[in-house]
Amino acid sequence: MPQKITPYSTNNPRRIIMRPGLITFTLLVLIALGCSSEKHLPPNILFISVDDLRPELGCYGVSQIITPNMDRLAKEGAVFLNSYANVPVCGASRASLLTGLRPAGKVTLRGYKCRSDASAAEFKTLPEYLKQNGYYTISNGKMMHVQDDSPQAWSEPAWRASTNRDASIHFYNTYDDWVNPISGHNLKPFGRKEVGPFYESADVADEAYHDGQVCIKTIDDIKRMAKSDKPFFLACGFWRPHLPFNAPKNYWELYDRDKINLANNRFKPKNLTNLHSSQELLNKYAANEGFPTDENFHKLSKHAYYASVSYIDALVGKLMQALKENGLEENTIVVLWGDHGFHLGEHNLWGKHNMMNVSLKAPLLIKYPGKAGLRLTQLTDFIDIYPTLCEMVNLPIPEHCEGKSLQNIIENPTMEHKDALFMAYGNKYSIKTKQYLYTAQMTKDSSFTKIMLFDHKRDPQENINVLANPDYKSVVDQLHKKLYSTLFEK
């Protein structure tokens, strides 16, 4: 008798009790049919998103950050070294990834926000497609960008950590981001409320913050699903290292702030005047004195970001241990991704919201049973994830998907994958090739203004915009033509 899946609650799940005679009869039938009582389900999927996570991990060659669990996950699977988000902002990036669509072309993601109607009705999100094909789908934490998520995609309502409205401590704290009372001594007005500092180091357990609670809920779901007769798609959305950079004190203590290397190009790129990034840190949080140029501010901010990443790394380790302890390790695909890049002082920028490489490039790790130790250098982008998972679980790839499955390069690591990637933000559009990143801006009359070209072979840090250099004229013309034909001539 199959185990019925019970929606998550704080109570113990119901147990199904079978009479001894019925058990004996069932075993005899299985033996007679040459069957085994062991379950053989399609692969499960643990789908981990980490907000604002750039490829600042040990497995990406950054030795000063402490991320042993994500590094272990990379060794047990594949790390995609040149992976890009299709939009450098949370909501639209998630909408693009989960629909398999670029933010230009067949569909425009409404307002670059991930609403439940983020795409046209005929374009099903990845979890909705899996649900319709036998998967039990669960969403914990921040997966889509808004509170109501995408109800039709999930087998049970999307789950969020509960809020604490203790006005004596958290009166400034809309989402309970701050748990240390001392943070309430450093506030700034924000609309009709007050907001706290952009960082916090509280002497608390992992579960004091929302991400720790999301981890507990996800582990409970792993235990619950281990008893089910259905494969699962379990989405776990962590908020850190998104602002505010709040993490338990023990993760801050992993680092000596004075030994953290700062960006060595804290100046504007040559020949580029209209560069900007998110003003979120300046506008929405307190205690940001020195933003964006003061060296002490750079040291504090990077220390805070690193502590937040190490905090999430510890939670990822707990999830991986739960898979192992519940016998799911060998039949579960694990995907971990950051939704876009993030500036940590490069060009004196903090955050995202521009078409620079640092805003667009993001980590992607996939643990696929039987494949380990892969370090893949091919150009990949997040619209590739949808078709990849379809192929891995032996489902047809929907016709609307604009990505290309990564399965081929996982099976054959020397194969080519794509010669170009396409990204968008607002009215700006970019094409990324192995050597170049070119960006153009659409004007009100739907013509284009050419903005920037970076030669990543000669200038990987993007310190010189070579758009006006006559030596690159043919490159600009070629890239502009390919960008336009791909995104706007369909």
| HEC readout, 77-132 | CEEEEEEECCCCCHHHHHHHHHHCCCCCCCCCCHHHCCCCCCCCCCCCCHHHHHHH
- Give the pLDDT of residue 41: 80
CB of 99 closer than 8 Å to CB of 118: yes
Q: pLDDT confidence of 115, banded at 50, 70, 90?
A: very low
Does 14 have pLDDT greater than 80? no
Does 412 have pLDDT greater than 50? yes
The first and second tokens of residue 386, run together, are 């949808």
Does 7 have pLDDT greater than 90? no
The mean pLDDT value for 456-483 works out to 98
- Enumerate the CATH 3.30.1120.10 domain ranges in the chain, comma separated: 427-490
The first and second tokens of residue 103, run together, are 């933010």
Residue 321 CB-density burial (10 A; 0-12 exposed, 13-18 middle, 19+ buried): middle
Does 106 have pLDDT greater than 70? no
Judge whether 170 counts as a catalytic residue. no
Catalytic one of 145, 170, 210, 417: 145
- Amino acid at the residue 440: A
Alpha-carbon Rg for the chain, nearest whole angstrom, is: 23
Q: pLDDT confidence of 150, banded at 50, 70, 90?
A: confident
Judge whether 90 counts as a catalytic residue. yes
Token pair 């996800």 in the structure block, residue: 218
Instruction: Please state, in angstroms and rounded to a whole number, the distance separating the CA atoms of residues 86 and 402.
Output: 11
- Which of 181-195, 299-313, 335-349, 462-476 is least confident? 181-195
* CATH of region 427-490, choose from 3.30.360.10, 3.30.70.2190, 3.30.1120.10, 3.30.70.20: 3.30.1120.10
- Which of 190-199, 325-334, 358-367 is least confident? 190-199
Q: What is the pLDDT of residues 441-456, one digit of tens each?
A: 999 888 999 999 999 9
Which CATH number applies to 42-168+204-418?
A: 3.40.720.10
Instruction: Please state, in angstroms and rounded to a whole number, the distance separating the CA atoms of residues 423 and 487.
Output: 10
- Give the pLDDT of residue 162: 63
Helix H segments across 330-378?
357-360
Q: pLDDT confidence of 256, banded at 50, 70, 90?
A: very high
Q: Where are the beta strands (DSSP E) in 328-460?
A: 332-338, 343-344, 350-351, 364-367, 374-381, 421-425, 428-432, 436-442, 448-455
- Is the peptide bond between 20 and the residue preceding it cis, with omega within 30 degrees of 0? no
Round the average pLDDT of the chain to a whole number and report it.
Answer: 87
- β-bridge mates for residue 448, sequence order: 442
Q: Strand, coil or helix: what is 253?
A: coil
- Give the pLDDT of residue 297: 97
Q: pLDDT confidence of 122, banded at 50, 70, 90?
A: low
Q: pLDDT confidence of 11, banded at 50, 70, 90?
A: very low
Helix H segments across 232-279?
249-252
Closest CA to 423 of 388, 379, 475: 379
Helix H segments across 393-436?
407-411
Does 39 have pLDDT greater than 60? no
**Which residue did the predictor score with more confidence, 361 or 90?**
361
CB of 237 closer than 8 Å to CB of 142: yes
Q: pLDDT confidence of 184, banded at 50, 70, 90?
A: confident
Residue 440 CB-density burial (10 A; 0-12 exposed, 13-18 middle, 19+ buried): buried
Q: φ and ψ at 422, to 5 degrees?
A: -130, 130
The mean pLDDT value for 192-211 works out to 92
- Give the pLDDT of residue 113: 37
Closest CA to 159 of 172, 178, 144, 169: 144
The mean pLDDT value for 278-287 works out to 92
Q: pLDDT confidence of 24, banded at 50, 70, 90?
A: very low
Query: What sign does the CA torsion over 454, 459, 461, 463 have?
Result: negative
The first and second tokens of residue 138, run together, are 């669960």
Q: What is the pLDDT of residues 308-345, one digit of tens each?
A: 999 999 999 999 999 999 999 999 999 999 999 999 99
The first and second tokens of residue 381, run together, are 């982008």
- Amino acid at the residue 232: F
The mean pLDDT value for 36-54 works out to 84
Catalytic one of 59, 90, 215, 390: 90
Can you state the angle between helices 68-75 and 295-325, rounded to 10 degrees?
50
Q: pLDDT confidence of 230, banded at 50, 70, 90?
A: very high
Q: pLDDT confidence of 490, banded at 50, 70, 90?
A: low
Does 173 have pLDDT greater than 90? no
Instruction: Please state, in angstroms and rounded to a whole number, the distance separating the CA atoms of residues 243 and 241.
Output: 6
- Which of 3-17, 64-78, 116-130, 235-249 is least confident? 3-17
Q: pLDDT confidence of 51, banded at 50, 70, 90?
A: very high
- Give the pLDDT of residue 161: 81
Does 388 have pLDDT greater than 60? yes
- Give the pLDDT of residue 465: 98
Token pair 């958290």 in the structure block, residue: 170
Q: Where are the beta strands (DSSP E) in 196-354?
A: 199-202, 232-238, 245-248, 332-338, 343-344, 350-351
Q: What is the pLDDT of residues 416-444, one digit of tens each?
A: 999 999 999 988 999 999 999 999 999 98
The mean pLDDT value for 147-164 works out to 80
pTM of the model: 0.89
- Enumerate the CATH 3.40.720.10 domain ranges in the chain, comma separated: 42-168+204-418
The mean pLDDT value for 167-171 works out to 43
Q: φ and ψ at 96, to 5 degrees?
A: -65, -50
Task: Name 490's Cβ contacts closer than 8 Å, sequence gap at least 6.
Answer: 105, 106
- % pLDDT > 90, the chain: 71
CB of 420 closer than 8 Å to CB of 432: yes
Task: Name 245's Cβ contacts closer than 8 Å, sequence gap at least 6.
Answer: 198, 199, 200, 301, 304, 305, 307, 308
- Is the peptide bond between 103 and the residue preceding it cis, with omega within 30 degrees of 0? no
